[in-house]
């Protein structure tokens, strides 16, 4: 049924065609037919291009009521897609298949170790790797696009059980203790031919780096991820004139061998989650690191905040579990990056990269 003048409706609207003489003729869908809006309906005895009987045909829409009419005679039109979209057509009888996809996450630590997990309930092979379905459950990281160089920061939630280990330590403890500091994070959406079927492709939704570990609980952690644009926030130039050394203790620039300034010990009676009783404690351990090698805290790394020489080591943060007598650890010297410590404690003045004799800013006036 061709309608030469029909305002306010677009192709796809469903209309009911009613004759004032014979009642409802049929229901059809409005479409564009060579520039004219038409309604495709099946009417007994009428074919494309013929005219209908005398009378007026009115058009109505279920949500808008009467929307117009067309005087006699009326031309009926059969749209070529009607066999597909009409009542009983294949498009209605066979709707689109559901989209099957899985979210896959890759965490690459600063040491180069890569961990791949998926939120799907079975392993997903993609990109030459297999994303495990038995690792931590990650939620978050939406795809976002905007104009400019604004760093996109998003929070994600990571749920894990104590049985999910990273280098022998529970995932949440390893996360809290810095194992994933600065790690690169990538989220890929992988599409499958059907739920649980073969992988047909994927698209990267987000790439960035772990910015901060905001909260760690018994079963879940909240982490802030910054997009790769965060690299533009780094201070440049990298090397600045400073009274203290710019090297990190034991790194390649420092050159001090870590093993030379490490000592092994065991926790004595009276130790707790914040204090390790040990007769081998010396002042040089202040600011250093302590790594447990046995017991419930195995592989947990702590920073030494204070030292009582010959008595105990005070830790910056409490341990996950109170150490028991005999739990073994290795503790390393710390460094305050001053020239005197570099020379007198480590004998490493040749590699000192501080500038203690630069006049303070006040001297410029």
Same domain, 173 and 128: yes
Residue 173: both structure tokens together: 């403890």
Residue 85 lies in a domain: yes
Same domain, 165 and 125: yes
Same domain, 197 and 212: yes
HEC string for the chain:
CEECCCCCCCCCCEEEEEECCCEEEEEEEEEEECCEEEEECCCCCCCCCCECCCCCEEEEECCCEEEEEECCCCECCCCCCHHHHCCCCHHHHCCCCCCEEEEEEEEECCCCCEEEEECCCCCEEECCEEEECCCCEEECCCCCCCCCCCCCEEEEEEECCCCCEECCEEHHHHHHCCCCCCCEEEEEEEEECCCCCCEEEEEEEEEEEEEEEEEECCCEEEEEEEEHHHHHHCCCCCCCCCCCCCCCCCCCCCCCCHHHHEEEEECCCCCCCCEEECCCCCHHHCCCEEEECCCCCCCCEEEEEEEECCCEEEECCCCCCCCCCCCEEEEECCCCCCHHHHHHCCCCHHHCCCCCCCCCHHHHC
CB-based contacts of 168: which residues, under 8 Å, 6+ apart? 298, 299
Mean pLDDT of the chain: 78
Same domain, 67 and 120: no
Q: At which of 38, 68, 93 does a domain end? A: 93
What is the pLDDT, as a whole number, of residue 95? 60
Same domain, 117 and 76: no
As for how many domains the chain has, the answer is: 3
Residue 357 lies in a domain: no
Does pLDDT of 208 surpass 50? Answer: yes
Using one digit for the tens of pLDDT, what is the confidence trace for 130-168? 999 999 999 988 877 777 788 889 999 999 999 998 877
Residue 117 lies in a domain: yes
Residue 248 lies in a domain: no
Residue 266 lies in a domain: yes
- Could you tell me which of 136, 15, 147, 149 has the C-alpha nearest to residue 70? 15
Does pLDDT of 255 surpass 80? Answer: yes
Residue 240 lies in a domain: no
Residue 364 lies in a domain: no
Lowest mean pLDDT: which of 11-25, 192-206, 266-280? 11-25
Mean pLDDT of 180-205: 90
Same domain, 152 and 115: yes
Report pTM.
0.53
Using one digit for the tens of pLDDT, what is the confidence trace for 3-34? 333 333 333 444 455 444 444 445 554 444 44
Same domain, 41 and 19: yes
Using one digit for the tens of pLDDT, what is the confidence trace for 78-91? 344 444 444 444 45
Same domain, 87 and 193: no
Lowest mean pLDDT: which of 26-35, 89-98, 174-183? 26-35
Same domain, 64 and 111: no
Using one digit for the tens of pLDDT, what is the confidence trace for 47-85? 333 334 333 444 444 433 333 444 333 333 334 444 444
Q: Is the peptide bond before 73 cis (omega within 30 degrees of 0)?
A: yes
Same domain, 7 and 110: no
Using one digit for the tens of pLDDT, what is the confidence trace for 284-315? 999 999 999 888 888 788 899 999 999 999 99
What is the pLDDT, as a whole number, of residue 143? 79
Strands of the sheet with 262-266, listed across from one edge: 262-266, 328-332, 289-292, 301-308, 312-315, 275-277
Q: Count the alpha carbons within 13 Å of 144 in the hemisphere toward its beta carbon.
A: 18
Same domain, 104 and 169: yes
Q: Which domain holds residue 327?
A: 258-351
Domain containing residue 285: CATH number:
2.40.10
Using one digit for the tens of pLDDT, what is the confidence trace for 306-361? 999 999 999 998 888 899 999 999 999 999 999 999 999 999 999 999 999 888 77
Q: At which of 233, 267, 300 does a domain end? A: 233
What is the pLDDT, as a whole number, of residue 263? 95
Same domain, 193 and 71: no
Residue 324 lies in a domain: yes
Q: At which of 93, 114, 138 does a domain end? A: 93
């Amino acid at each position: 049924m061709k309608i030469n003048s029909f305002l306010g409706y677009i192709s796809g609207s469903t209309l009911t065609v009613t004759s004032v003489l014979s009642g409802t003729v049929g229901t059809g869908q409005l479409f564009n037919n060579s520039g004219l809006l038409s309604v495709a309906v099946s009417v007994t005895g009428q074919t494309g291009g013929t005219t209908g009987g005398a009378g007026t045909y009115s058009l109505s829409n279920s949500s808008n009521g009467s929307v117009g009419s067309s005087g006699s005679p009326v031309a009926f039109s059969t749209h070529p897609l009607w066999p597909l979209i009409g009542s009983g057509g294949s498009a209605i009888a066979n709707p689109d298949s559901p989209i099957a996809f899985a979210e896959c996450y890759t965490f690459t630590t600063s040491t180069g170790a890569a961990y791949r997990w998926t939120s799907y309930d079975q392993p997903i092979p993609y990109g030459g790797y297999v994303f495990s379905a038995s690792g931590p459950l990650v939620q978050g990281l939406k795809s976002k696009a905007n104009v400019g160089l604004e760093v996109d920061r998003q929070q994600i939630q990571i749920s894990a059980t104590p049985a999910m280990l990273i280098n022998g330590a529970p995932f949440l403890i390893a996360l809290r203790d810095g194992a994933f500091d600065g790690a690169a994070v990538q989220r890929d959406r992988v599409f499958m031919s059907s739920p649980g079927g073969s992988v047909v492709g994927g698209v990267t939704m987000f790439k960035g780096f772990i910015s901060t570990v905001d909260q760690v609980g018994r079963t879940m952690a909240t982490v802030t991820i910054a997009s790769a644009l965060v690299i533009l926030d780094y201070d440049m130039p990298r090397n600045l004139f400073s009274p203290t050394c710019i090297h990190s203790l034991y790194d390649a620039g420092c050159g001090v061998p870590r093993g030379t300034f490490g000592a092994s010990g065991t926790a004595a009676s009276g130790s707790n989650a914040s204090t390790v009783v040990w007769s081998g404690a010396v002042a040089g351990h202040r600011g250093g690191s302590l790594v447990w090698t046995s017991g419930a805290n195995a592989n947990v790394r702590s920073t030494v905040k204070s030292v009582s020489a010959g008595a105990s080591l005070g830790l910056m943060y409490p341990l996950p579990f109170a150490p028991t007598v005999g739990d073994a650890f290795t503790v390393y010297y710390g460094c305050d990056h001053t020239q005197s410590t570099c020379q007198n404690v480590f004998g490493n003045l040749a590699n000192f990269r501080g500038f203690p004799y630069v006049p303070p800013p006040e001297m410029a006036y």
